[in-house]
A and B are shown apart, each in its own frame.
Chain A
Amino acid sequence: QVQLVQSGAEVKKPGASVKVSCKASGYTFTRYYMHWVRQAPGQGLEWMGVINPSGGSTTYAQKSRGRVTMTRDTSTSTVYMELSSLRSEDTAVYYCARGEEYDVSAITAYWGQGTLVTVSS
């Protein structure tokens, strides 16, 4: 069965960076895009970007551009999301979510469990 397992909660100081991992299993890793979505406390869902695990190409949301980097390791079927220059507004639960096969334009049924990133001095 398809599983997306994310790394554990992080506490970071303002200005630091955080790298969250998402290990996929139960399907052919390189055939499905992987998206990252975050949700600040009490707020809605915000799309951060997407990576094509096959070639590694990325598309980032305008708001995240310049601070976010998404990478993948095909040998371990893991994608990573690194966010730099953290500020308090980046405190949120970060989710990885699988897209459609060979199609960047949708997030489907499979989501990671979420990783809480807290930015606090």
Chain B
Amino acid sequence: QSVLTQPPSASGTPGQRITISCSGSSSNIGSNYVYWYQQLPGTAPKLLIYRNNQRPSGVPDRFSGSKSGTSASLAISGLRSEDEADYYCAAWDDRLSGSYVFGTGTKVTVL
């Protein structure tokens, strides 16, 4: 059972801006960096955002991340058809001996 909660789906038309939320707790998002991954069908996840709001080289600035308290968000502006994918948030959880926890995942559909 995932520790980080995301909405199961999000959608928008081309050019729109959508946001995906990720809700956690003080032991994960509240005290560690948040990471976001994009997964296209049949492929390995791709890092989109690291350390809450940093973009790896090659990731368009249409993607942005933010964090506040025990929640985080991924925003996609100027939505494009190729953004249709599954998105996962993740963070380290300090409980017990530690673990890396993923969100439940959000399927983004471009209408």
Contact (Cβ within 8 A) B99 A47: yes
A107–B90 CA distance with the chains assembled, in angstroms? 9
Contact flags B76-111 to A (C-beta < 8 A → 1, else 0): 000000000000101010001111111111000000
Residue numbers in B under 8 Å from A95 (CB-CB)? 44-45
Please give the residue numbers on chain A whose beta carbons come within 8 Å of chain B beta carbons, in ascending order: 35, 37, 44-47, 50, 59, 61-62, 95, 97, 104-109, 111-114
Contact (Cβ within 8 A) B99 A62: yes
Residue numbers in B under 8 Å from A107 (CB-CB)? 35, 47, 90, 100
| Residues in B36-74 with C-beta less than 8 Å from chain A | 37, 39, 44-47, 50-51, 56
Contact (Cβ within 8 A) A59 B97: yes
Say which residue of B47, B56, B92, B97 sits within 8 Å of A105 (CB atoms). B92
A59–B98 CA distance with the chains assembled, in angstroms? 8
Contact (Cβ within 8 A) B100 A108: no
A9–B2 CA distance with the chains assembled, in angstroms? 26
A35–B102 CA distance with the chains assembled, in angstroms? 13
- Given contacts A44-B105, A45-B105, whether A105 and B100 have CB atoms under 8 Å apart is yes
A111–B92 CA distance with the chains assembled, in angstroms? 18
A106–B50 CA distance with the chains assembled, in angstroms? 9
Contact (Cβ within 8 A) B45 A112: no
A97–B45 CA distance with the chains assembled, in angstroms? 10
A95–B43 CA distance with the chains assembled, in angstroms? 11
Contact (Cβ within 8 A) A45 B44: no
Contact (Cβ within 8 A) A35 B100: yes
Contact (Cβ within 8 A) B99 A109: no
A108–B48 CA distance with the chains assembled, in angstroms? 9
Kindly name the residue among A107, A108, A114 whose own CB sees the greatest number of chain B CB atoms within 10 A.
A107
- Given contacts A45-B88, A108-B50, whether A113 and B96 have CB atoms under 8 Å apart is no
Residue numbers in A under 8 Å from B11 (CB-CB)? none
Contact (Cβ within 8 A) A111 B101: no
A47–B93 CA distance with the chains assembled, in angstroms? 11
